[in-house]
Amino acid sequence: MMSLNTSARNRFTTISDPDLEEHVRRLHNQFPRSGSEHFQMMRAYLHAEGIVVQRRRVRETLKQIDPAAAAQRWGQTVARRTYYVPFPNSLWHIDGHMRLIRWGLVTHAGIDGNSRLVTFINCGTDNTALTVLTHFVRATCRYGLPSRVRSDHGGENTLVALLMNLLQGNGEVRHITGQSVHNQRIERLWRDVFQQVVHYFYTLFYSFEDEQILNPEDDIQKMALQIVFKPEIQKRLDLFRHAWNNHRLRTANNRTPTHIWMEGMLANREQHSTAIDNVFGNDPYSQENIENGLARHGIRLDQLQANNDDLERAVIVPQPHIILSSEQQQDLQNAMTGTTDLKDRYLLCVRQIQNML
């Protein structure tokens, strides 16, 4: 028993209370609402930075930093509908998040319906079908090709639908469309993404407008905003994905989405499910890359384009009508080197672009 207790203690990082508070306070500033839901996400953010501490310490630190949010958390109850997917990779939900579209930014994500594993989440400056397909293909290289995909009716999802029906079809519907309210898993994900990541930038950009240093109709200012903030948003989305996939779910016996996905794959290996076979190599397409799979149908990835009807159904993200050469882009990055404050970087970027044009 003593050796077991010693082993358990050794799993935790040796860190003082003041140092822990400093880390939690910094993460709480980056993800302001991460503590208002439950402390498990904050614990996962710490874990993503290599800091493993007891739940009690995270809970107590959050209570000191934001006591009002801690009190609110314990009083919250959430009504959930019954949801069932048999295996990991049986069904992925994909969607786009448009809360930053005013400034030419959009987030695309995919989540596994069974395990709640976030397979991809990316911030970009367009909402085209080719962009969504690119994110999807990269995710399949990491987690395997799902049996089915669910999305709304948006035209940006048509190439994923084509890919699924070509590679997985066999006479069955492999892409399911419906209203966003029925895309349950990802709608819940968007709530957390907005609260913990997007809300910060949403309010910040509006504050820039209030200060009259940002006009979303001004091409120079919009381009500068995207150059400065898109990498920062992606960095925080990457950290969110890592934390989400490794945070413990109370409703799943405190297992993480990653654990659920891996355990489900191993436990159902003999079920002869398309979703499982694609990971363990029983499906012919899993032994080849996506490009070779499409080549069986005489198609290359770079040939895939959405038709005009699909483009009309996709939400258009307006972009600046400014083109900078690769040399100008490099000069811009060099000029911003050493400026760490995001607002200062944005203002500097605006001035630099104005001088270039």
In 3D space, the residue among 327, 328, 345 whose CA is nearest the CA of residue 336 turns out to be 345
Per-residue pLDDT of 240-270, as tens digits, reads: 999 999 999 888 888 999 999 999 998 888 7
In 3D space, the residue among 174, 195, 152 whose CA is nearest the CA of residue 314 turns out to be 152
Whether residue 35 is predicted with pLDDT greater than 50 in this model: the reply is yes
Q: Give the span between the Cα atoms of 103 and 254, in whole angstroms.
A: 38
Per-residue pLDDT of 93-127, as tens digits, reads: 999 999 999 999 999 999 999 999 999 999 999 99
Element (H, E) at 23: helix 17-30
In 3D space, the residue among 240, 251, 262 whose CA is nearest the CA of residue 41 turns out to be 240
Per-residue pLDDT of 185-199, as tens digits, reads: 898 899 999 999 999
Confirm or reject CATH 3.30.420.10 for domain 84-320, answering yes or no: yes
**Choice between 81 and 26, residue whose per-residue pLDDT is larger:** 26
How many other β-carbons are positioned within 10 Å of the β-carbon of residue 82? Answer: 5
Torsion angle of the four alpha carbons 346, 350, 353, 357, in this order, in degrees rounded to the nearest 10: 170
Q: Give the span between the Cα atoms of 341 and 338, in whole angstroms.
A: 9
Per-residue confidence (pLDDT) for residue 285, from 0 to 100: 45
> β-strands 106-112, 175-177: how paired?
unpaired
In 3D space, the residue among 39, 66, 75 whose CA is nearest the CA of residue 54 turns out to be 39
Query: Which residues are registered as beta bridge partners of 124?
Result: 106
Whether residue 294 is predicted with pLDDT greater than 70 in this model: the reply is no
Max distance between CA atoms of the chain, in angstroms, equals 71
In 3D space, the residue among 108, 106, 102, 174 whose CA is nearest the CA of residue 138 turns out to be 108
How far, in Å, are 127, 130, 175, 303 from residue 314 at the CA level? 7, 12, 17, 19
Whether this model's pTM surpasses 0.85: no
3-state secondary structure of 77: coil
3-state secondary structure of 151: strand
Q: Sign of dihedral through CA atoms 113, 115, 117, 119?
A: negative
Element (H, E) at 341: none
